[in-house]
A and B are shown apart, each in its own frame.
Chain A
Amino acid sequence: MNFRYAKTVLLGTIALGFLASLFASRINPYWLFIFYDIGISIVMAVSLNLINGYTGQFSLGHAGFMAVGAYTSAVITNQFGELNVFAANAIFAVALLAGGLAAALAGLLVGIPTLRLRGDYLAIVTLGFGEIIRVILQNLDRVGAARGLSVVHGWTNLFWTFGLGAVTVYVVASLVNSTYGRGFIAVHDDEVAAGAMGINPTKYKVTAFVVGAFFAGIAGGLYAHAKQFLTPGGFGFMQSITFVVMVILGGMGNTVGVILAAILLTLLPEGLRMLAGIDHLPGLAAERPLGWIGDTRMIIYSLLLIGLMLTRPQGLFAFRQQRK
């Protein structure tokens, strides 16, 4: 498959995101923020899928790259006051790009010394990296340390989230679905054989890390300007795990599945929260009959994950048996 119309689809999605952003004022802000979350999760999960799914490296530090992008872009945009819409979007674009590049640089720095490690060892090193980022931010007074950093501008909108989501999907899918990109999967399958077939495993692994980190940084920028408040604790180990779960649930190395998993796992906790918040059900006397869901929300969420993994270990959305 070479996806002849990939570019048309990409431009179409960006245009659609732009149209949707024009009508954003009519959307309930609660839903609007959930849409932002979905877009950000898609960028995170699809970029992590390049590292963990296609290239077969086990990175547990994706939230660390996200933090680098979030803080970098926030520090840049905080320099500016109120701007007209064009200037604001131009500055935002530059800030997002800078966040992505800073994260990509971090990816390169982690990548080069650590990519000789495999499997569990690599997982531990990336985990350590994520924690280092968090601890540095926690002690960096310049960005508010543990108190957190206020982001002045809420510039994230539907155009940026879905446009950049589409760009991420396009870049990852284009990379992988090419003769060049079969190298990622070859490295995943058998590094020694890949080397013997003229594929440079180190180069492919570093590329996966740098591209993955770049998009994680961009997602961080979107996150910063959606939430407008950053704390180092928001980019901890658990956050990385959430994205890993999306990749595994979607089926490693299956972009469509990972997108669906990112949507599902973002909606699921919200859906449970909503169920819990229902005040009255006809025929039931209690005031909040489903209130118990609120208290046990995260337990239900965890049980659902365990159930899904037991019943569909190949990934919830892996319909084709093409990859393992």
Chain B
Amino acid sequence: MPSLLQLDQATIRFGGLTAVAELDLQVGRNELVGLIGPNGAGKTTAFNLITGVYQPTSGKIYFDGRSIAGSPPYRITARGIARTFQNIRLFPSLTVFDNVRAVFHLHLRGDVRHALWRGQGFHAEEKSISDRVMELLELFQLGKFRNEPAKSLSYGDQRRLEIVRALAAKPKLLLLDEPAAGMNATEKVELTRLIQFIKDQFQISILLVEHDMKVVMGICERIVVLDYGVKIAEGKPDEVRANPKVIAAYLGE
């Protein structure tokens, strides 16, 4: 079976700088892949390539068998790739509930006319959306904050809410950009459990960018290592850990 996400020689240059060079990357269905590398290795740039924030200078990106290079971000999300951000980007003035609800417009059957006419169909649909939003929030213990503005949540809860918001898009592939950043040891253990739980519960693929080795080694089935925009290693956690190139990249020679 072809992989869900496939990057073929994806390259992006900013002026003279090649941020990501000829990257080959595959993510299979219901697979959890880690993308690691030292600071400035191009991990987030690779994310931005996949999600359409940047267009590749050359190379191809396929998702679910179709090319997505050149599509705008909102269309790629509709195809089934949802993401979180390294520095949390919730909608701060919306409530916790509305942050998730806003994403549900992807699954709306009616359009603007529906909202303007406000007939039975509209109210029924809004009710069903509300139920599904609450179900998601409860699943991640955020239900009690439903009417709080998103910006008033604690840091850890905001991170979790961002993941919930991404899941509301019903993605086939979830991209997590450094979800453990700024977390303490206990929170990291919880996060590891959470990611495992999401993968099992929703049966989706996850691509994880992370600095923290413990988190990555603990849960990823396969790891891809980037350094200066080039893939230097790929394999199972143990293989990668023992790879001299990886050690050199992280610790220096």
Contacts and interface: CB of A to CB of B under 8 A. Distances in A.
Given A182-B101, A193-B90, A2 B126 contact: yes
Return the 10 tightest CB-CB contacts between A and B, nearest first.
A178-B115, A182-B102, A198-B77, A193-B89, A195-B73, A189-B91, A198-B106, A323-B93, A200-B74, A186-B102
B103 A197 contact: yes
Nearest to A324: B93
A322 B93 contact: yes
Interface string A311-324: 00000000001111
Nearest to A2: B126
Interface residues on B, range: 35 or more
19 contacts: A4-B118, A174-B116, A175-B115, A179-B102, A179-B105, A182-B101, A183-B102, A185-B91, A186-B94, A190-B91, A195-B72, A195-B73, A196-B73, A196-B82, A196-B89, A197-B103, A198-B77, A253-B93, A324-B93
Nearest to A3: B118
Contact of B112 (A4, A175, A185): A175
Classify the interface of chain B: helix, strand, loop or mixed.
helix
A233 B116 CA distance: 35
Interface in B105-154: 105-106, 108, 111-112, 114-116, 118, 122-123, 125-126, 129, 149
Interface size range of chain A in the complex: 35 or more
B26 interface: no
Nearest to B115: A178
Nearest to B103: A197
Nearest to A10: B118
Interface in B207-235: none
B62 interface: no
A118 interface: no
Contact of A200 (B72, B83, B125): B72
B115 A189 contact: no
Contacts, number: 117
Contact of B169 (A186, A188, A198): A198
Interface of A: 2-4, 6-7, 171, 174-175, 178-183, 185-186, 188-190, 192-201, 207, 253, 321-324
Nearest to A187: B91
Interface of B: 51, 53, 72-74, 77-78, 82-83, 85, 89-95, 98, 101-106, 108, 111-112, 114-116, 118, 122-123, 125-126, 129, 149, 165-166, 169
A193 B53 CA distance: 10
B165 A197 contact: yes
Contacts of B78: 198
* Most central of A4, A178, A185, A199 by chain B CB within 10 Å: A178
B226 to A, nearest CB: 21
Contacts of A190: 89-92
B16 to A, nearest CB: 26
A181 B51 CA distance: 24
Nearest to A203: B74
B105 A183 contact: yes
Contact of A4 (B101, B104, B123): B123
A87 to B, nearest CB: 29
B126 A324 contact: no
Contacts of B169: 197-198
A179 B129 contact: yes
Contacts of A189: 90-94
B108 A197 contact: no
A196 to B, nearest CB: 5
